[in-house]
Structure 1
Amino acid sequence: MSHLPPNAAIFSPSVARAAASAAKDWSFIDTWLSKKFQGRKPPPFERNPDTLRALLAVANANEAADEERTLVAKLESDTLREIQQQQQHQREVENPADAARQAILTSLEENLSREGRTALESMASVSVNLGMAFATPADLGQRMVALAAQASELEQMQARVAVLSRYVENEVRSVQELAKELKGEQYRPASHLAKQNLEMQRKIKSIAAKLPELRDKVTALASSVGMPNPTVEQVRQEEQAYLDLLAQKKELDAQVKAFQGLPPDTDQARQELEALRTELRRVTQRRDAVFEGLVERETPKKPSRPQ
């Protein structure tokens, strides 16, 4: 009835039957779409007779395909069950011991208590998870111990990684604080540095422009004067002469040091030198007198002979 206006009145029984059939079909389509979309809302579409016919055709085809797939799956399951039964019967015929063992195991499994069945299922689940086809309790125990050791190593590695992560985070925070500090006013360049930089660049450009001219002048001067080309023997001789001059300078410095403190005038220096000589003679005479007195005092006197 989507093709009819909302306020249209229905007077014909055939139209009423068609409307009821369409409503039933739309209800089937809505149910089918909700199953296919699994609770999600299907995308919006126009509800008209053409869309209804197309959706009914798709739904019928899908239902038919599902029925065929169900029949095929049931047929395959029945065939597989028959093949397994035939193989079981063949094994029982070929190997009675295996058949008896299988029967005993089946009987044991059927007569297990609830705790035993739970333990058996747990062992089977652990074996499947560990990838062990024929697992024994000892093998399971060894694998469990190995897994526990591996889990302990992983926990230690996780702890070390956590410590390293905290260290990296602290370093990142330190670097961020340092970067924030470097962006502060304290580390901003002075305002006159830009002008000074431009001035230095202008000077460098001017000097660089003069370099070719200076190189030409140096080349011309070298060609006109002639650059010396000394040999090793000449260098050695010059070095020896320099060392001789240094030794002579040291001797002259020692001689000049003896006259250090004298006035620069020659006459005054001579007078001061004579005064020093007179003082030296006086001190020498006093030394001799003191020495003679010490000798007379220390010399033993001879006893006088009686007359």
Structure 2
Amino acid sequence: MDLHLNDDWASSAVFSPSLARQQQHQAKEWSYVDQWLQAKYHPRPVPPFERNTDTLRALTALAAANEAADEERASQLEFKQNILSSYRPKRPDDKVIRIREGLNRDASKALDSLAGASVKLGADFGGVSQNREALLYLSKEECEVEHSILPEEQTLKILLADIQEAEESLRKFQSEAYETPKDLPAKVAEWTRTIKILQQKSAEYKDRATSLQNAYRRNPPRYTVESLVELESEVLDLQGHVRSLNGQVKAYTLLPPDPQAAQRKIEEAKEELERLKSRREELYQGIARS
């Protein structure tokens, strides 16, 4: 009997109670979320979305918050309905009726305005002093609110300007000037090939440098820097001596190759030199006598 089991069978055969409970809990939550979504989108179908753990967590929290808000709204509506159903308007007093009947149109209108202002200002008794104090307090609060709104309005203007600038930048970046070139994949492939070639060349040059260093260690050169400097100094001295000899040789380049003819040429040059010296002496004497 073959006792070797494959990995797929072994992984599927393992049973984890905690994992089963977790899957059962997730199934209940998905059922709750699906029912809530169907109720919200009815009669339209629920749009498709990605079903994962994060989505389940977010939708569960949203559904719970929505149901809590619905319950609070329903309780408020029920409370208002109970208040309205229990309200019974009182019959006005006969004195009030007679007073209103005795007022003219302008006085009745002024009384209604005063009563409405008293109710809005929270002064139910209709006292003039209370209305005045409430009106002053309301004016003060209005002024404070206006002053507190000014920085918020300025901040709002700045935010709107930033949003407009961001939208303009977004439109600019979405233009054709910032689109990816069509030949970019080909260039990237070419750059990749070039990088690989350069990497191979770099490794080759490193190997060559290592080989040269090893060869230098095994067979150091015969000449050092100091010896080369000395040789250079000797070469420079020899070059100076050669230049001196070349200057001396140039003096004899005009002589004929025959020794006797060259000797005669030298004698003639000496005679010419003596003649020039005599001429110079005569000129000096003439200058001295004058």
TM over 0.5: no
TM-score, scaled relative to structure 2: 0.31
Ranked by relative contact order (alpha carbons within 8 Å, sequence separation 6 or more), the top structure is 1
Flag the structure with larger Rg: 1
User: TM-score, normalization: structure 1?
Assistant: 0.30
